[in-house]
Structure 1
Amino acid sequence: MIEARAVVLRIEGDQAWVRVTEQAGGCGRCDEPGGCRSVRITQLFKPARETFRLSNGIGAQPGDAVRICMNDGAPLRAALASYGLGAVLVVAGASLAALGGGDGAVLAGALGGLLLAVPANRLLMRSRRWRSGLHMAVLGAQPGCARVQEEGH
């Protein structure tokens, strides 16, 4: 399980707005002498998101310390779907086009693969089954998360 400490900012109906209170990533020595600061490259173009709206299944109140949990493989699956699918379709489009033409055809095939990847990723993100594997849960402040399940399963 991937866990992070957070604090509840506000409650809206059955949803809790939480802010992550610990910086995650790498070996944890980023700011120590000799640390490589490699996590900072992930925030080069956009700072990490720290506030999330999640289901409040534990009845947390504003100010409560909680833990946010996500299944281990979820970030990898999301990255593979987002970036891997696009890369595979670009290479496949270029490869297929290379069989029947020159450089222009290869470029057109690669662009066609890229154009196919955009709606494929959008369709994937609309799938409830797919999104259920990316589910995050708000749990009590005690360390240790059980396997995270989507509500209703």
Structure 2
Amino acid sequence: MQAMAQVLRVETGHAWLRVTDAGGGCGRCDEPGGCRSVQITQAFGLPKAEFVLPTALELRAGDKVVISIPDGAPLKAALASYGLGVVLLVAGAALGEVWSADGAGDLGAALGGLAGLLLAFALNRVLFRSRNWRAQLRMELAAQVVCLQSIAENQ
């Protein structure tokens, strides 16, 4: 997933960026019923007009850059965030209902579901702290000129 952005300012190895083009996808992002799936500023949180990324590039305010997220990273993040919670909620509720005493199946299911959600929360916290996991979800910057040169070389 890639998007064009403009550098707003650069300080101590970090660039403040504003996305100027969502790029990619089916082209129905802003139409009614469009999924907005290529909104790169929303990939890992709430939409923001500007955000900060670390960079080793020599950039100045006004420069155009390309922000890229590895293929599959948004899906991995969504599955870990939401999928793990749903699976553990249902599994915990099922186990809680099975292991509960006669007549307390609903209470057992509720407690098992809560235990599953708590386990999902704990596992997501561990994943977030993992350097290996975060490295798979990184955003990278490249100067727009470099990207255009590599496209021309491949043709």
For this structure pair, what is the TM-score category when the shorter chain's length is used for normalisation?
A: 0.7 to 0.9
RMSD between aligned alpha carbons?
2.5
Aligned amino acid, residue 92 of structure 1? A
Of all paired residues, the percent bearing the same amino acid is 47
TM-score by length of 1: 0.79
Contact 1:3–1:67 (CA under 8 A) maintained in structure 2: yes
Deviation of the 1:64 alpha carbon? 0.4
TM-score by length of 2: 0.78
The equivalent of 1:62 in structure 2 is: 61
- SS of the equivalent of 2:87 reads helix
Deviation of the 1:29 alpha carbon? 3.2
Aligned amino acid, residue 16 of structure 1? A
Once residues 86 and 59 of structure 1 are traced to their aligned partners in structure 2, the CA distance between those partners, rounded to angstroms, is 41
Q: Cα 1:11–1:141, aligned 2, differ >3 Å: closer, same or farther?
A: same
Contact 1:26–1:38 (CA under 8 A) maintained in structure 2: no
The equivalent of 2:118 in structure 1 is: 115
Once residues 123 and 133 of structure 2 are traced to their aligned partners in structure 1, the CA distance between those partners, rounded to angstroms, is 13
Bigger Cα Rg = 2
Contact 1:6–1:68 (CA under 8 A) maintained in structure 2: yes
1:38 is matched with which residue: 17, 34, 37? 34
Stretches of structure 2 that go unaligned for 5 or more consecutive residues are: 151-155
The equivalent of 2:153 in structure 1 is: none
Aligned amino acid, residue 62 of structure 1? A
Pairs aligned (count) = 139
Deviation of the 1:52 alpha carbon? 2.4
Which deviates further from its counterpart, 78-87 or 16-25? 16-25
Q: Cα 1:94–1:25, aligned 2, differ >3 Å: closer, same or farther?
A: farther
- Correspondence 1:133 to 2:136: yes
The equivalent of 1:77 in structure 2 is: 76
> Following superposition of structure 1 onto structure 2, how do residues 14-25 of structure 1 map, counting pairs within 5 Å?
14-24=13-23
Q: Cα 1:134–1:30, aligned 2, differ >3 Å: closer, same or farther?
A: closer
Aligned amino acid, residue 68 of structure 2? C
Contact 2:28–2:34 (CA under 8 A) maintained in structure 1: no
Deviation of the 1:26 alpha carbon? 4.9
Stretches of structure 1 that go unaligned for 5 or more consecutive residues are: 147-153
Greater fraction of residues in helix? 2
The equivalent of 1:151 in structure 2 is: none
- SS of the equivalent of 2:81 reads helix
